[in-house]
Structure 1
Amino acid sequence: MTSDSASTTAYGHACLAYDDPAALDARAVAHLAAGLAAGEQVWLVAPGDTDSLARRLDRLPGRDDALRRRALRLLPVEHAYRHDEIVDPEKQVRAYAAATTEALAAGYTGFRVFAEATTLVRSVAQRDAFTRYEHLIDRWMRHHPMSAVCAYDRRELSEAAIAELACMHPETNTDGLFRLHAGGGEAVVELAGELDPSNHRLFAAALDRADPRPVDGRLVLDATGLRFVDHRSLLHLGDHARRHDATVVLRTSRSAPARLVELLDLHDVRVEVVP
């Protein structure tokens, strides 16, 4: 992360890679305490039974009272993600949307989750489904009062596997070069960081998993946070545009992408240079 808080984004969706369980629990306590202080309902979702999850929150102020009031809920990971070994992305979003609605109806100001999801992403098939879910829930959270930290154990997952997950979040504590996440306003997607030869295949996979759809024949991407993009990633954008019979509109503060698009003769990609 970029600060001591679990998330500093406007709508709060962060990827936390960890290798120290004690440090993870401290992050969970801080994240959930902030939610309780804001009047939100908060969930800890992690492997183990409810007693073991409660012990992980020994240092959470007012833990027992919050549990009695159901302001705090402790859910074994298999109870929160009930769609077999491979998560069903759409069903899982609907489940969290329902939980948010219930929290608001009960008088809470919002809904906050700290989820340790390593067991759900060990295989290639699991990660393919879960990264799709990460983008769908990111889009939903962008416009609803839910926030989440998604934690993944470096001791069990490779750096390449974690990179697949981290790049689908607006915030992460990993060293990944780029992030693809939900956009605001007219932009369907926002891109940040750098797209270079080292990660263009990961970008192609992320773009396929997010699968942003055009509106009225245009797919607007906010790339003002993108410091660099090479021709390979622009070609991936062109391929995506053709698959959806649309024009990709790449909004950026840099002029170099426009020159590349012209040199590559990418008729399906248009660059708009904005201040």
Structure 2
Amino acid sequence: MTSEGVAYPGHTHGCLTYEDPATLRALAVEQVTAGLAAGEQVWVVGPQDRATMTGWLRSVPGVDAARRRDALRLLPVGEAYRHDEIVDPDRQVRAYARATTEALAAGHTGLRVLAEATSLVRTPAQRDAFARYEHRIDHWMRHRPMSAVCAYDRRQLGDAAIEELACLHPETNADVLFRLHSGVGDAAVALGGELDPSNHRSFAVALERADPRPVAGRLVFDAAELRFVDHRSLLHLRDHARRHDAVAVLRTPHQAPARLVELLGLTEVRVEVLR
């Protein structure tokens, strides 16, 4: 466990989109193998029954012994989440917080979860709630010994729905132009990729769902990995800062955002150019 200001060194939060079920099965083998080797408790959460998921993992050394000592749990999705309902973001974070505490108390080094969550995000209302949960758990995991990979079936959801969810992960194989995820240190949020005219509305939605809050009147955005930002997205930062009566601080290695902020007169946005 670490303080809120320091990232937990084992933290990973990934999003896998897939079309071939063999990709999901291979990921399950990879995650279970890595988690058991690290001494973690590993959960594989999926729509299949336990017998099917057991079959996926036959190639993992010691898998049966791991299940007997509760180092590996195979859970139908309805046992880990409110299946086919709208997820309560805060309630779900609390559930994983308890599970992580219990894993540590049982002698494991942490908790690792692979969750096939397609059935939880089929409707717009489900996606809105689950996207909010994704950012909250991403922030919580950043400072705790929990890691997760969320898997989504592209054939069932489509590209637009996938984009809503994948952009809220620090790591993803989805073709998204930008990423918004938890920051480290005093940065509430980290931004990566590109924010341009094609995705500024998606950015506004992601920002509203993440809803980062200011500290001492400052909302710090770590944009070290953000290659480009246009004026529309800067306006979204301004609007979010206004809602919280704060100043948005954008930390970037690029000079262009500072010039845009000056030209637009965005007094609620401050650019700190990284040296």
**TM-score bracket, shorter-length normalisation:** over 0.9
1:226 is paired with a residue whose SS is: strand
Give how far 1:10 is off. 5.2
Instruction: Tell me what 1:117 maps to.
Output: 117
The aligned runs of 1:7-18 (5 Å cut-off) are: 11-18=11-18
Distance in 2 of aligned mates of 1:88 and 1:175: 27
Distance in 2 of aligned mates of 1:61 and 1:221: 43
Q: Which moved more, 1:34-43 or 1:54-63?
A: 54-63
Give how far 1:84 is off. 6.2
Instruction: Tell me what 2:228 maps to.
Output: 228
Q: Evaluate the alpha carbon distance shift between residue 10 and residue 260 of structure 1 in structure 2; reply closer, same or farther with a 3 A threshold.
A: farther
Distance in 2 of aligned mates of 1:94 and 1:254: 38
Distance in 2 of aligned mates of 1:21 and 1:48: 12
Deviations 1:181-216 (A, max 9, x none): 000001010001100011101000000000000001
Deviations 1:140-167 (A, max 9, x none): 0000000000000011011010000000
The aligned runs of 1:63-74 (5 Å cut-off) are: 63-74=63-74
Distance in 2 of aligned mates of 1:123 and 1:71: 34
TM-score calculated relative to the size of structure 2: 0.95
Distance in 2 of aligned mates of 1:27 and 1:34: 10
Instruction: Tell me what 2:207 maps to.
Output: 207
2:169 is paired with a residue whose SS is: coil
Distance in 2 of aligned mates of 1:67 and 1:58: 12
Partners of 2:13 and 2:149 within 8 A in 1: yes
Structure 1 runs of 4+ with >2 Å offset: none
Q: Which one-letter code corresponds to 1:20 in the other structure?
A: D
Instruction: Tell me what 1:269 maps to.
Output: 269
Distance in 1 of aligned mates of 2:234 and 2:33: 42
Aligned pair 1:51/2:46, yes or no?
A: no
Distance in 1 of aligned mates of 2:60 and 2:83: 30
Q: Evaluate the alpha carbon distance shift between residue 83 and residue 245 of structure 1 in structure 2; reply closer, same or farther with a 3 A threshold.
A: farther
Instruction: Tell me what 2:242 maps to.
Output: 242
Partners of 2:177 and 2:193 within 8 A in 1: yes
Instruction: Tell me what 2:100 maps to.
Output: 100
Aligned pair 1:86/2:86, yes or no?
A: yes
Give how far 1:83 is off. 7.1
Give how far 1:23 is off. 1.7
Distance in 2 of aligned mates of 1:140 and 1:174: 23
Instruction: Tell me what 2:4 maps to.
Output: none
Distance in 2 of aligned mates of 1:228 and 1:237: 14
Instruction: Tell me what 2:28 maps to.
Output: 28
**Percent identical residues:** 71
Q: Which one-letter code corresponds to 1:218 in the other structure?
A: R
Distance in 1 of aligned mates of 2:255 and 2:57: 50
User: How many pairs align?
Assistant: 267
TM-score calculated relative to the size of structure 1: 0.95
Instruction: Tell me what 2:257 maps to.
Output: 257
Instruction: Tell me what 1:185 maps to.
Output: 185
2:157 is paired with a residue whose SS is: coil
Q: Which one-letter code corresponds to 1:34 in the other structure?
A: A
Deviations 1:249-269 (A, max 9, x none): 001010000000111111100
